[in-house]
Amino acid sequence: MSNLEQAMTSFYSDTHPKMEALQIELLRQASPTRKMNMLAQLNASARLLALTGLRAQYPQASEAELRRRLASLLLGEELAQKVYGDLPHAK
């Protein structure tokens, strides 16, 4: 076991410690541009998952209502209301 592996505590219970150490090392070596691209992909995935969940929770909601509900999740209700106005009524 390397010093890096010994010094680290595991973040994920489903990932072997050696693989986790390798992932962290590769992230450390990645360029800032690569890290930003990875973050953008992660953000897009999180938004898609949230929107999918909202569609399941509010199947009759319009796209405008779903976007507004997503804003509430991402920004908090108070800021979403200031930026986007009141939540449209479900139809």
Query: pLDDT tens digits for 3-44?
Result: 555 555 667 678 888 999 999 999 999 999 999 999 999 999
Mean pLDDT value across residues 50-66:
96
Radius of gyration of the chain, Cα coordinates, nearest whole angstrom: 19
Which pLDDT score, from 0 to 100, does residue 91 have?
A: 47
Is residue 59 within 8 A of residue 71, CB to CB? The reply is no
Which pLDDT score, from 0 to 100, does residue 34 have?
A: 96
Q: Which residue has the tokens 């569609």?
A: 55
User: What percent of the chain clears pLDDT 90, i.e. is strictly above it?
Assistant: 75
